[in-house]
Structure 1
């Protein structure tokens, strides 16, 4: 598992945790010690985005499109590697890469006659085409500016763009080159542009050249069949779970789980459950109390916050919380609600299969004395971290 945290971000967290524990072997590649990493047999720490060559694609303003190959700002922390090097070393150990003599020969081809690299690498890739990205890293990557070996994978992409969008790429680069020479020029321009580069400039009448088929099919039979079968009476409120939870509300200071330090959040430090006065009062609780949110799959304890702007019967929790962080004393503490403990992987969109997060049937309950004590303890530990700016 690389750069993902299914033990916190996948629906029905408890089920995901059980599945990871049952694996014969689990390996995590990540920049943070996530909840998933804590369950893994091996953790391979990666360098952060500030310590390696990475890229961003944005179509800032169509018809001009930009690509930004970002250079590292700092040296990697000791004991970390860029992902490409991690996988290259794993491939070495697995014995799926060619011998060093072959790699050296292909490196010289990349240095002296780069356009013919794939032709020379053909016999190697014929046996195992899946090694192509690592092969480029181990050959072409060695010829690139210091530390930029990871960018080698962009080279075939540049040739594909130049082939499929020849005229727009020519406009962006201000050149009349064609064929492989245009792809090479685009790759060189990207490497030499630390602030990003326009890689294509289109005219509006060219937009249909980007559509693969002659028609865009708007009618999706599966969707239409599902829509005709909708029944409001059948999908009514479940008696055991009468409230509708927006599980993943956007707020002023929440983002994805990459932003783990609690001190980053300038408001809503607990990731409170927002609830109407009458819905909270129905269980005998008040604003600021700890309450339990219960679903078919789980139960979490959260702090309640009155919000009468919600519609009746609706409650809301934010996304991006529920991550564990070092507590400064050798342990870890969970910051905010782990919302996927109460989502249901089987309650999902029937076509895409995406679990529902914006209309989760729940009920509220009073917390036990032990639950309240644990919640107060963890909140105090988190607030100590915030005070120390961590």
Structure 2
């Protein structure tokens, strides 16, 4: 029997609505849902390949448990018992700090990945939290935290109403957007130009996005912050600043003017390789446009001054009066955000509340740099690891700690609001937060990895590969036996996407239009499968010693206890908050009103009801509930983005703090960069439309064509080095070397080479049969992990020096 079913696509940040064709229990086709309130029928090649990914024969179907050195199929009960037996003795002997948690990019694309990692981290009580955010967008979180007091308050460009878009280090025509959720981003850019608007792209590559632009500025990689500082300088120098209505909500303008005095267009030109006249034009065009927005992404984040570049993006939006106004950059309001609190001073944002054990890297948003994971495992007992003065416990940081599963990016799971609420309180049997000051700090001995493949995504995968092999215990929640999960002692495989529900907790908080959508599983769970939400709930119970059985009897605790705990804690807190719509009510009465088929749906209902559009458990009868959302299968449109300041601000002043202390302290490092000149070639990454990091290379329909692992090299550099198109070339960096085919093209500027991210599928012990046929090379093996943006701990993946040698 053939039928259709709706499903929100989980394969990138665009979150397009799909209409699936289902034959029996198999998805045979996918097309765009024309009635979807957000995507209106748009679909990309990834979404069109939904069925192939869903049915990939290499996806694991049952748990694997290591016995006698080999991973063997096991029952779910055996798997969770092995988790408890592996984790609990280590925690009881050494403390919770010996267990690390690694969260990968796909976490932000699933309901389970949004709801449960914060609870897991809080239950374990560990500060050793590493996510893909520190390979991607952590600089933006840090700059937002410092400017606005909230690391997840990220303004997005109002694409559909802006007159001028300045786009830096982003290629949304191929990425579909990042930290800016916008189905059909290419169509929106074309519409901008069609209505007479202007698109300017700053990128060392002439990307498909740059080809659409009115102006393409081929900047030298890694110098975005210098150029943006010079643009801000021009605004001050020429009297072009105009904060407009923002003025009452901003402090530090005069101090900013003084500190940017040295960054003239002429002084930055040699480092950026952008002439002063162009820089001045960029500034003047921003001001001349009726509305304008500056938007930057991974190319500006994954560089040595990533946080400064991210900060300066919003500085320019502020100085031109374009922050928080239609056509500029606005703060989205997701349906599952917490009840908006009254405007006023908040707690602010703190960096470095604790530091990593080996190198002393400061935490950011509750996370340590993923580039430091290997040394935290393979380096012996060392100093560090103790809390900074006034630091809270890791459990108290539970919400923040779980927030960084990117994205990619994404990395804004704490944007799930009350989903993370209560995650700071351990489940019964959980250990305490972290070793107290002065206690001995131990190397990581165990790891919980959820949808993560850092052997390919983090710098120096060879070292991490060896480090993972030395762990006493590792559990991986992953559908594949990949380059990282092959080291696990237990692998817990979630079901395919068609068998899972979907709501975009993270990406709705970054969307260019306010809307809400939810789809239940398109296909029932296959026999022997376990829902990913149940896997995560049972994992929490297992690591805390609260239960390992898969039943609700003596052999284990009902996994619904985890959801009940979060619901109870959230409601008890909500009824105490004066601004809450349920202030003063009985939590038990409210709990009884929740609807939903299971714990995750009840939590979604809770978040919708307490959210900014919710019914407040009857206080606003026309408001959102899960039942109302289910009655609108194509979603509910909540309207265009609206100005929201000062309400989103949580700084201690209650204002946009334009020159935060940590930023001011890092600016001398940027001044020193004025004298930097790369002596040779520098490396940048590359994104392909049919790819999303390392987790789609096993799908034949998504590989080949332009999605190939080749080194892009400018013809001038190729001629100078004697490199022929298609010939193998050896690329060497601080972390190692790789040999890869050269692709000579003028789409990359001279002095720059480009390799895509996520390849290198040639390690033994994996089960990725298609990916292994054309494995490519791991670009991150060229990095040794020592280069980090000091404020955010983000790995420097772009603008790094490399050397090239033609192979004989």
Is the structural similarity TM-score above 0.5? yes
The CA distance in 2 between the partners of 1:15 and 1:143, in whole Å, is 48
Is contact 1:291-1:364 (8 Å) kept?
yes
The match for 1:274 is 712
The match for 1:255 is 692
For residues 184-222 of structure 1, what are the alpha-carbon distances to aligned partners after superposition, in whole Å with 9 as ceiling and x for unaligned? x52332344432234x56994655333334201121323
Task: Measure how far apart 1:79 and its partner are.
Answer: 4.4
- Measured at CA, do residues 339 and 61 of structure 1 come closer, stay the same or move farther in structure 2, by a change above 3 Å? closer
- Match status 1:32 vs 2:480: yes
The match for 2:702 is 264
Is contact 1:26-1:41 (8 Å) kept?
yes
SS of residue matched to 2:750: coil
SS of residue matched to 2:600: helix
SS of residue matched to 2:500: coil
SS of residue matched to 2:790: coil
Is contact 2:495-2:529 (8 Å) kept?
yes
The match for 1:134 is none
- Measured at CA, do residues 28 and 309 of structure 1 come closer, stay the same or move farther in structure 2, by a change above 3 Å? same
Is contact 2:688-2:707 (8 Å) kept?
no
Question: Rg bigger for which structure?
Answer: 1
1:227 to 667, 675, 686: 667
SS of residue matched to 2:646: helix
For residues 12-45 of structure 1, what are the alpha-carbon distances to aligned partners after superposition, in whole Å with 9 as ceiling and x for unaligned? 2122212212221111101233211112222111
The CA distance in 1 between the partners of 2:785 and 2:703, in whole Å, is 29
- Paired residues for 1:140-155 under 5 Å: 144-145=596-597, 148-155=598-605
For residues 79-115 of structure 1, what are the alpha-carbon distances to aligned partners after superposition, in whole Å with 9 as ceiling and x for unaligned? 43222211333355554269869x89x99xx9xxxxx
The match for 1:365 is 805
1:190 to 623, 626, 629: 629
Is contact 1:12-1:297 (8 Å) kept?
yes
Is contact 1:53-1:151 (8 Å) kept?
no
The CA distance in 1 between the partners of 2:642 and 2:570, in whole Å, is 39
Is contact 1:71-1:194 (8 Å) kept?
no
The match for 1:84 is 533
The match for 1:385 is none
- Match status 1:218 vs 2:668: no
- Match status 1:70 vs 2:512: no
SS of residue matched to 1:244: strand
Provide structure 2 residue ranges, at least 5 long, that are not aligned to the other structure. 1-448, 573-590
1:327 to 769, 778, 783: 769
The match for 1:377 is none
- Measured at CA, do residues 39 and 69 of structure 1 come closer, stay the same or move farther in structure 2, by a change above 3 Å? same
- Match status 1:4 vs 2:452: yes
Aligned pair count?
Answer: 321
Is contact 1:270-1:303 (8 Å) kept?
no
- Measured at CA, do residues 96 and 357 of structure 1 come closer, stay the same or move farther in structure 2, by a change above 3 Å? same
The match for 2:467 is 19
- Measured at CA, do residues 20 and 190 of structure 1 come closer, stay the same or move farther in structure 2, by a change above 3 Å? farther
- Match status 1:298 vs 2:728: no
SS of residue matched to 2:472: coil
Task: Measure how far apart 1:73 and its partner are.
Answer: 1.6
Task: Measure how far apart 1:274 and its partner are.
Answer: 0.8
The CA distance in 1 between the partners of 2:724 and 2:704, in whole Å, is 24
SS of residue matched to 1:322: coil
- Measured at CA, do residues 190 and 100 of structure 1 come closer, stay the same or move farther in structure 2, by a change above 3 Å? farther
TM-score (norm 2): 0.35
The CA distance in 2 between the partners of 1:88 and 1:249, in whole Å, is 36
The CA distance in 2 between the partners of 1:91 and 1:236, in whole Å, is 50
SS of residue matched to 2:801: strand
- Paired residues for 1:36-185 under 5 Å: 36-57=484-505, 58=508, 65-77=514-526, 79-93=528-542, 95-96=545-546, 118=568, 144-145=596-597, 148-161=598-611, 165=612, 168-169=613-614, 177-178=618-619
- Measured at CA, do residues 144 and 335 of structure 1 come closer, stay the same or move farther in structure 2, by a change above 3 Å? same
Is contact 2:476-2:488 (8 Å) kept?
yes
Task: Measure how far apart 1:355 and its partner are.
Answer: 1.2
Is contact 2:514-2:641 (8 Å) kept?
no
SS of residue matched to 2:484: helix
SS of residue matched to 2:805: strand
SS of residue matched to 2:518: strand
- Measured at CA, do residues 151 and 7 of structure 1 come closer, stay the same or move farther in structure 2, by a change above 3 Å? farther
TM-score (norm 1): 0.69
Task: Measure how far apart 1:281 and its partner are.
Answer: 3.8
Is contact 1:169-1:201 (8 Å) kept?
no
The match for 2:749 is 311
- Measured at CA, do residues 285 and 205 of structure 1 come closer, stay the same or move farther in structure 2, by a change above 3 Å? closer
The match for 1:373 is none
Provide structure 1 residue ranges, at least 5 long, that are not aligned to the other structure. 111-116, 123-138, 369-390
2:795 to 355, 364, 376: 355
The CA distance in 2 between the partners of 1:353 and 1:235, in whole Å, is 22
SS of residue matched to 1:222: helix
Is contact 2:730-2:805 (8 Å) kept?
yes
| Structure with the bigger percentage of helix | 1
The CA distance in 1 between the partners of 2:486 and 2:617, in whole Å, is 54
Q: Which has the higher contact order (CA 8 A, sep 6+)?
A: 2
1:344 to 784, 796, 801: 784
2:646 to 208, 223, 246: 208
Is contact 1:344-1:355 (8 Å) kept?
no
The match for 1:237 is 678
The CA distance in 2 between the partners of 1:14 and 1:60, in whole Å, is 35
Is contact 1:45-1:79 (8 Å) kept?
no
